[in-house]
Amino acid sequence: MIKGILGYIWKAYFFLIVLFTIILFYPIFLVVLMQEKYFSIGFKCVRLQAKIILLLIGIRRIEFGEFPKDNRSYIICSNHSSYLDILLLSASISSYFVFLGKKELGSVPLFNIYFKRMNILIDRGNPKASHNAINKAIQEMEKGSSVVIFPEGTISNTVPVMKPFKNGAFKVAIENKIPILPISFPRNYLLLQDTWTIDSKCGPGLAEIHFHKPIEPSSKDYQDLITLRERTREIIQSKLLDGSR
């Protein structure tokens, strides 16, 4: 019971820190996100904000491998088990990238400023809007940016085992010859679990980030899409059970 109460306090502290930094950086984002030529400045501010949040909540990170330094565009795919995933991606990847996120993020007060211009919202229930979002992601990659897509679609409720992957990221990869970059977060759900139950896992600690080798798509054949999807899932999953200890 005491541990659960302390967990509630820590989670409340976490969200207060996030809110504080959003308010702190909000005037800057209002200015730099008005024009695309300043998005790179906005990206650096997001990285700084993420690092400040992680520092203040006591999350230390250790990286295994590194993001490729070849200036190519990648579709970045990782498991999604915690809100920490977004913070750690922002803090750990210095090359410009955008998130492809669900449309509901655009309705969150203050937080939605990140998705008004710089990132991309997708409405999976609207085929036309979903198609437009994917096209926008492709345009970003044609300009040299990478795109983060969580192939599970939402935070998994079966961690450390991932939910089945959706096809979207891999369809874009094979049709546009864009490599997939798998990333594993084996411990994030142990630091900030997406529940408010008395026994939920949360608190400061060490976060692991595993950068895997990029996977090149082979062809546009549907079977190759399935192979790419399942291979990516197996690679990411291979590190997750290790982090459940």
What token pair was written down for 47? Answer: 């990285």
Contact 73, 145 (CB under 8 A): yes
Percent of the chain with pLDDT over 70: 98
Per-residue pLDDT tens for 200-234?
889 999 999 999 999 999 877 778 999 999 999 99
Task: Give the Cα separation of 78 and 211 in Å (integer).
Answer: 9
Domains along the chain with CATH numbers: 2-244 (3.40.1130)
Instruction: Indicate if the pLDDT at residue 34 is higher than 70.
Output: yes
Per-residue pLDDT tens for 78-136?
999 999 999 999 999 999 999 998 888 877 887 888 887 889 998 878 888 888 999 99
User: Hunting for tokens 């990285």 — which residue is that?
Assistant: 47
* Strand 59-64 with 180-184, pairing: unpaired
Of residues 2 and 226, more confidence is placed in: 226
Task: Give the Cα separation of 116 and 125 in Å (integer).
Answer: 19
For the beta carbon of residue 16, count every other beta carbon within 10 angstroms: 12
pLDDT band at residue 199 using 50, 70 and 90 as cut-offs: confident
Q: Is 27 helix (H, G, I), strand (E, B) or coil?
A: helix
Task: Give the Cα separation of 80 and 32 in Å (integer).
Answer: 29
Query: Global pTM?
Result: 0.92
Task: Give the Cα separation of 197 and 187 in Å (integer).
Answer: 19
pLDDT band at residue 3 using 50, 70 and 90 as cut-offs: confident
Q: What phi, psi does 201 have (nearest 5°)?
A: -85, 130
Q: What's the confidence (pLDDT) of residue 126?
A: 87
Of residues 3 and 242, more confidence is placed in: 3
Instruction: Indicate if the pLDDT at residue 166 is higher than 60.
Output: yes
CA angle 226, 229, 232 (to 5 degrees): 145
Mean pLDDT on 46-61: 97
Q: What's the confidence (pLDDT) of residue 175?
A: 93
